Amino acid sequence: MNLWVPSVPFSGGNGDLRRCLSCGTTENMKRRRYCSVECRQKLRNNLNMRTGLLQTLQIRYATFYFTETLIILDMLPYNSSDLLSFMYPRRRGKKPVEDFCRMFNDLGNAWWDEVRRTKKRYLATRLILSKARPIPGDIHCVRPLEVREPSRMARSMTCLKLRARDLHSPNLQQIIKRAFRRRAKEVHPDQGGDSALFRRLRTAYEDLIRWAEHPVFTTRRGFPDKWFYEGALNRWTQPTPLYRLQRALAEEED
């Protein structure tokens, strides 16, 4: 099957109903990104169970998303700057995960049929990639923004009212101490504050000072409305919350 239209993420703009990033339902979503943990895990498990074909095709990066009528797999092979896309129509009453499995099964069967016919795996790979359509854009369409966050410091930062960009400052220890003194004046028991809150504040201060001496960051990658595959890790990553990407962009501009 060879179907192609311009890539359009499933999630809409302002005013649109919030849809589950795994199944697309709008029921009882409110501010949630997934209708349930089970729904998210089912899609991720099925994506990760079918990475063998992506490895066979030597895919460096890929993204998976869907519209109301299509499921879309955009790919960037190793040693290539050309973006490719597989787009299959969605079946009535079927969830995206079911259509994704069907698409991968079709592609996998076509690859094996060509291997049996030619006895050449590289020819089978070439055939499958030739069925994909080239798409406009550059590598950034499938290579996500990296979000670099301090490892396990979010709660301590909130307690001292520090911003993420503060942790990149060369004067970090002074910033932490000033923040602690400022907050201590607000919550110290001698000033009518809460003793339990002051203890949490003191613990947060000590944790951040230790972190400043040996900083450890966690790198997160992803898109706000696409599932992301990285060939080097051979696994899929769920969409990254939009606020994290916006915060990363703001820090880069600063």
Token pair for 121: 């795996």
* Average pLDDT over the chain, rounded to an integer: 83
Beta sheet of 70-77, edge-to-edge order: 133-134, 84-89, 70-77, 59-66, 227-230, 235-237
* The predicted structure's pLDDT at residue 17: 66
More confident residue, 6 or 103: 103
pLDDT at residue 221 greater than cutoff 50 = yes
More confidently predicted of 167 and 70: 70
For residue 204, which phi and psi values (nearest 5 degrees)?
-65, -40
Section 161-181 average pLDDT:
88
What pLDDT is attached to residue 119?
Answer: 96
Q: How confident is the model at residue 136, as a pLDDT?
A: 81
> Model confidence at 49, in pLDDT bands (50, 70, 90)?
very high
Give pTM, 2 decimals.
0.67
